[in-house]
């Protein structure tokens, strides 16, 4: 099966399974507990399919032309972030409006949110994906001769996502706070904030992101093995 189409199937299944953890992480930024764990799921599936389609089409084209995972992931990130950011803002709005009852949301237009988030998202995703896919592809290559493709995909994605998400979490949580209307811009998030507050929801986010990657890449390598 075409690897891009396989990635769409894998990411969609992964999103449906792990979406409640994503909602829990977002609502925890308001120090509340969600009541509607699947609010915004339809937007998320649209965002996931659009972003994954653009990302993997670009990534696989670069990879097949013998570009390194670092270069392939950089081009893919630049292309897919333009699709991801506006849809992700809509998803975050849906998650918060249906789960957060009382909060003084910052008054910011959709365009202002997009402007404040887009470039910092690129700045976060480029090094994160360089790190993630460099670890993933090299781990996959080493493990491939010893284990089943599903095991290779699961372990490689676990290792890659654990390291990359741990390193980039402070930026991720800042992006979420701006998307949801807690702060006006990224720099405001870090101003006079205690390290404990910046890492609010870290374990939930790590569980969500690692689980989503393990499920997604296991399915991907099962449907469309790399080698």
pLDDT per position as a tens digit, 67-119: 999 999 999 999 999 999 999 988 988 888 888 876 655 566 777 778 778 88
pLDDT value at residue 189: 73
Contact 20, 38 (CB under 8 A): yes
Q: For residues 172-191, give the mean pLDDT.
A: 78
pLDDT, averaged across the chain? 89
Least confident of 57-66, 109-118, 169-178: 109-118
- What pTM does this model have? 0.86
Q: Which residues contact 69 (CB under 8 A, 6 or more apart)?
A: 63, 130, 133, 134, 136, 137, 138
Q: For residues 126-154, give the mean pLDDT.
A: 95
For 100, the token pair is 């957060």
Contact 212, 5 (CB under 8 A): no
pLDDT value at residue 194: 67
Domains annotated for the chain, with CATH where assigned, are 3-223 (1.50.40.10)
Contact 32, 84 (CB under 8 A): no
Cα–Cα distances (Å) from 117 to 7, 64, 82, 184, 207, in that order, read 26, 31, 11, 10, 24
pLDDT value at residue 185: 75
pLDDT value at residue 216: 96
pLDDT value at residue 46: 94
Contact 149, 225 (CB under 8 A): yes
pLDDT value at residue 101: 72
pLDDT value at residue 145: 94
Max distance between CA atoms of the chain, in angstroms, equals 55
Q: Is the pLDDT of residue 147 over 80?
A: yes
């Amino acid at each position: 099966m075409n690897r891009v189409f396989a990635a769409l199937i894998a990411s969609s299944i992964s999103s449906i399974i792990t979406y409640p953890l994503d909602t829990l992480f977002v609502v925890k930024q308001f120090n509340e507990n969600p009541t509607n764990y699947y609010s915004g799921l339809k937007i998320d599936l649209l965002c996931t399919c659009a972003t994954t389609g653009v990302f993997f089409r670009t990534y696989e084209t670069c990879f097949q032309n013998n570009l390194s995972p670092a270069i392939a992931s950089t081009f893919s990130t630049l292309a897919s972030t333009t699709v991801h950011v506006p849809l992700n803002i809509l998803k975050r709005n849906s998650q918060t409006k249906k789960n957060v009852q009382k909060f003084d949301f910052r008054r910011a237009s959709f365009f202002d949110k997009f402007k404040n988030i887009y470039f910092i998202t690129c700045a976060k995703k480029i090094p994160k994906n360089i790190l993630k896919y460099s670890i993933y592809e090299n781990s996959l290559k080493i493990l491939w001769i010893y284990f089943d493709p599903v095991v290779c995909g699961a372990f490689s994605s676990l290792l890659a996502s654990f390291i990359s998400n741990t390193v980039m979490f402070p930026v991720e949580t800042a992006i979420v706070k701006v998307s949801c209307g807690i702060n006006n811009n990224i720099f405001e998030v870090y101003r006079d904030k205690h390290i404990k507050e910046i890492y609010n929801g870290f374990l939930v986010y790590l569980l969500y992101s690692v689980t989503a990657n393990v499920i997604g890449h296991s399915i991907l390598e099962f449907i469309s093995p790399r080698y």
